[in-house]
Chain A
Amino acid sequence: MMRTVLILLLLALIGFTLVSTVVEMPTFGHPDNPTNNELSQGFIDNAKEETGAMNIIASILVDYRAFDTLGEATVLFVAIAAALSTLKAH
C-alpha cells in the first residue's frame, strides 16, 4: 500500500516536469525551429554531387558519418557474442 502511493507520487512528479517541458518547446513543424540550421541544409544541397546517391539518409549514414556506422556494427557484434557465450556455457 505504501509502495503504491510512493510510486504514484514519483510518477506524478516526473510527469509534471515532462509536461511543463512540452509547453515550452518550439512549435511542431515550424520552418524557423532552432534544429533546422545550415548543417542539414548543407547536407541536402551537396549530397547528390558529392556522393552520387539519391537517398540522402543513406549517404549521411555511410559516407559523411561512416565512423558512427562502424561503431554501431561493433555494438551488434558484441551483443551477439555476449548473448551466445551466456547461453551456451557448459
Chain B
Amino acid sequence: MAEIALRLYENKYFLVAMVLFIIGFHTMLTHSNLIKKVIGMNIMDTAIFLLFVSVGYIEGGVAPIIEPGVEQVYVNPLPTVLILTGIVVAVSVTAFALSLIVKLYESYGTIDAEEIMRIRSTEL
C-alpha cells in the first residue's frame, strides 16, 4: 500500500491530469445547460494536453532552444509538437459548437438541453 502511494507521488503530474479528466467528464454529464457542457469538453481537452506534454520531461533539461556555445540537456521536443496541432483542433471544435448554440437559442428560445428535448417531443 505504501509503495502505491509512493508511485502516485512520483507521477503526480499524470495523477492530476487524470483527476482533471474525471472532473471535466462529470461536468459534461451532469449539468443540462449547453454552455456548461462545452466548458466540460474544454476541461477534458486541457487534461489530455497536460498528460502528453509532461511525458517528455527529462530531469535537468531546459527548453529546446539552442543557445550558441553552451552544452545542455534538452527536453524531448516531440510531444510538444503534437500538442500544438491538438490545441488548434480543440479551439476549432469549440468555435463550431458555440455557433450551433447561438442558432439553437434563436430557434427554441432556451439553452436548457432537457427543455429543448421536451419541446421537440411535443411539437409535430
Contact = CB atoms under 8 A, between A and B. Distances in A.
Interface in A23-59: 23, 25, 27-31, 33, 35-36, 39-40, 43-44, 47-48, 54-57
B108 interface: no
Contacts, number: 115
Interface string B64-100: 1110000000101111110011001100110110011
A82 interface: yes
Interface residues of A, number: 44
A14 B18 CA distance: 10
A18 B47 CA distance: 13
Interface string A47-90: 11000001111001100010011011001101110110011000
B59 A48 contact: no
Contact of A31 (B8, B59, B64): B59
Nearest to A8: B26
Nearest to B98: A83
Interface residues of B, number: 44
A22 B8 contact: yes
A44 B78 CA distance: 10
A65 B56 CA distance: 18
A87 B102 contact: yes
B92 A15 contact: no
Given A18-B22, A86-B103, A87-B99, A40 B78 contact: yes
Interface of B: 4, 7-8, 10-15, 18, 21-22, 25-26, 29-30, 54-59, 64-66, 74, 76-81, 84-85, 88-89, 92-93, 95-96, 99-100, 102-103
